[in-house]
Amino acid sequence: MIGNELAILQRAFHRECRSLAQYLGECWPWTHRGDREAQELVRSIIADERRWAEQLAELIDQRGGVPVPGTYPAEFTNCNLHFLALDHLLGRLAEFIERGVPALERDLAATSDDPPARKLLAQMLERKRGQVTALRKLAATGART
């Protein structure tokens, strides 16, 4: 069972390290003067994912594994996200996070024998659902506050 849970943690680690939010944090999309709330939300998401990646790496290490972040998906690197405005990217970020929720739900269900991993994955799942809601709300209002 440890090998399976290690693989689950490794996949979750990769998703957090190479997410759209992490990519946006490295490419700095264009912002408007009034994008403060959107910038703060995206920075918060980036910080959450970095913290979770660190915690996942620690769990992987404790179980004898080696955390491997991997590379960003081609869908990020091939579509010039560097040149898009942040307010345009909010909906895309919400969709990306939302698409990852089922994988996180499966991971949570599969880690029943690993309480520390289960606790972290449950926290991540709850927070990600809130992030999707916040991103969609900002995207609907035009993100300029």
pLDDT tens, position by position, 9-60 = 999 999 999 999 998 888 877 777 778 898 899 999 999 999 999 999 999 9
Which CATH number does the domain housing residue 58 bear? 1.20.1260.10
Give the pair of three-digit tokens for residue 75. 């869908």
* Identity of the amino acid at 103: A
- Give CA–CA dist 128/5, Å, rounded: 21
pLDDT tens, position by position, 47-92 = 999 999 999 999 999 999 999 999 988 888 777 766 677 788 899 9
- Taking only Cα atoms into account, the Rg of the chain, rounded to an integer number of angstroms, comes to 16
Polymer length of the chain: 145
Determine the structural domain holding residue 73 and report its residue range. 2-141
* pTM confidence score: 0.89
Q: What is the mean pLDDT of residues 104-128?
A: 95
CA distances from 105 to 32, 36, 109 (A): 35, 32, 6
State how many domains the chain has: 1
